[in-house]
Amino acid sequence: MKNNIIIKSIQKNSIAEELNIEAGDLLLSINGRTIQDIFDYKFLCSDSELLLEILKSDGEHIIFDIEKDESEDLGLEFENYLIDQEKSCQNKCIFCFIDQLPKGMRETLYFKDDDVRLSFLFGNYITMTNLSEEEIDRIIRYRMSPINVSVHTTNPILRKKMLNNRFAGDVLEKIRRFTSNGITVNAQIVLCPDINDGKELDSTLADLTCLYPQLNSISVVPVGLTRFREGLTEIKPFTKERARAVLRQVEEWQKRLLESYGSRIVYAADELYIMAERNLPGIDAYEGFPQIENGVGMVRLFSYEIDEALKNLPENIIYPVKEYSIATGTSVYDHMVALTDKIEDALESIKINVYPVENTFFGKNVTVTGLLTGYDLKRELKDKNLGDGLLLSKSMFRAGTRDMLDDITACELEQELNIGIKIVDNCGHAFIDTLVQS
């Protein structure tokens, strides 16, 4: 039975537009094969010769004979970007952040994805507990790489316990199948004190790093704990001493791995350095930032980009006198003050106020900027001097929207605080551009 796939829109100047395929038409098959999901579609479209079967919205049935470059896209966009439904996570991880959300928030926030297609398309991390043998074979056959895996531990008994899933113990076996077949894997370890740290972390790193280079990188990230943990597994928060111990352990591994493989492979999240009150490593130590989305090197890269943007500003330009404000999580406040001091020295006409915002919504243990809410911004900034505009990081907002985690919008904040808001990309160049072009 054919899987009739609704075409949502057609890209301009594409093959589909030339063929007069329209929104509302149905894609029936490619080269006689039905399409299960986006993996099938991308794989089948990679051929240079295609038979594209379309059912027009008026009922006309057409098969197009297409010759194209292998890398050329057809230009079809679908109602559902995966074509199939997203796969949800069936685990009950003891550290799951979604389980620590309060009731009454936007429904989509409670959806736990664990979909390998999202890992390939958008870099999401998956546990692989719901991957069937057929899906593993399909990933290898289609060469879908890289795959990002939430490992946490390679100890089968401990992983079953941490994920609360009796099928979670074979993660190392699945990773080995991928790496031995040329699939690149990036791994994530959410570290929970007295659970998967210490000797358990050493064992996990030993199991994973020997798979380099196909096992490309590993991030070590401290567990995030909100104040909404009633009825959940007790987990200790990180302290300065514990963070320092983890960094010593990671840095010892980096030293050995650099000598053996020419790469550090494993990287610690910025949060650990901030908790430990340690200086962040230099930019070269991040080796191209393979784990930037996990908060590994984000502060260092932002600082580097600020320096580069300031160097590249045109000379002999006098910028208008302006005063801006930024709101930041408490963990990076000192770093942001140091950066804005540097910017003010370079751009003498611009003043920047930096306001640290305590996260009372999720709790004091949540200190990163990306998890600030409109509730806390309104509380903290209401009576502050915000100057000529408030600059907020894009990471505070739901992707592609102006909505924050608690559903307060940028427009509501503007009205409440009586100030214009600019949402700025998480990039030092974009930050400087916003300052000098406003």
Helix (H) or strand (E) holding 45: helix 38-45
DSSP 3-state assignment of 436? helix
Whether 184 and 112 share a structural domain: yes
Angle at 32 between CA 27 and CA 37, to 5 degrees: 50
Whether 26 and 140 share a structural domain: no
Whether 420 and 373 share a structural domain: yes
Domain CATH code at residue 231:
3.80.30.10
Domain membership of residue 84 (yes or no) is: no
Average of pLDDT values for 320-347?
94
Whether 50 and 32 share a structural domain: yes
Phi and psi dihedrals of 49, rounded to 5? Answer: -125, 125
From CA 399, how far away is CA 430, in angstroms rounded?
17
Whether 240 and 323 share a structural domain: no
pLDDT of residue 201: 98
Whether 307 and 283 share a structural domain: no
Whether 44 and 158 share a structural domain: no
Whether 370 and 418 share a structural domain: yes
pLDDT of residue 3: 64
Domain membership of residue 225 (yes or no) is: yes
Q: Name 301's Cβ contacts closer than 8 Å, sequence gap at least 6.
A: 283, 286, 289, 292, 428
Per-residue pLDDT band for 111 (boundaries 50, 70, 90) equals low
What does pLDDT average to over the chain?
A: 90
Whether 30 and 117 share a structural domain: no
Q: Side chain identity at 226, as an amino acid letter? A: T
Q: What's the length of the chain?
A: 438
Domain membership of residue 125 (yes or no) is: yes
pLDDT of residue 1: 41
Among 25, 43, 78, the domain boundary falls at: 78
Domain membership of residue 92 (yes or no) is: no
- Tell me which residue range forms the domain holding 417: 303-437
Percent pLDDT > 70 in the chain is 94
Among 230, 265, 295, the domain boundary falls at: 295
How much is the pTM?
A: 0.84
Among 234, 266, 295, the domain boundary falls at: 295
Give the model confidence (pLDDT) of 212-244 as tens digits.
999 999 999 999 988 888 888 999 999 999 999
Whether 422 and 396 share a structural domain: yes
Whether 339 and 372 share a structural domain: yes
Whether 374 and 431 share a structural domain: yes
CA atoms in the 13 A half-sphere facing the CB of 16: 25
- Please say if the pLDDT value at position 407 is more than 80: yes
Q: Which residue has the higher pLDDT, 4 or 226?
A: 226
pLDDT of residue 386: 95
Domain membership of residue 41 (yes or no) is: yes
- Within the chain, how many helices (H) and strands (E) appear? 14, 13
Domain membership of residue 83 (yes or no) is: no
Domain CATH code at residue 41:
2.30.42.10
| 79: nearest Cα among 130, 38, 112 | 38
Q: Are strands 26-30 and 61-67 parallel, antiparallel or unpaired?
A: unpaired
From CA 46, how far away is CA 51, in angstroms rounded?
12
Domain membership of residue 218 (yes or no) is: yes
| Count of structural domains, the chain | 3
Domain CATH code at residue 375:
3.40.50
Give the model confidence (pLDDT) of 175-184 as tens digits.
999 999 999 9
Residue located via tokens 């079809």: 76
List of E strands, 273-427: 322-329, 350-357, 389-393, 421-424
Domain membership of residue 270 (yes or no) is: yes
Residue located via tokens 């895996």: 149
Give the model confidence (pLDDT) of 83-102 as tens digits.
777 766 777 888 888 788 77
Helix extents (H) in 101-214: 116-122, 133-142, 156-163, 171-180, 199-209
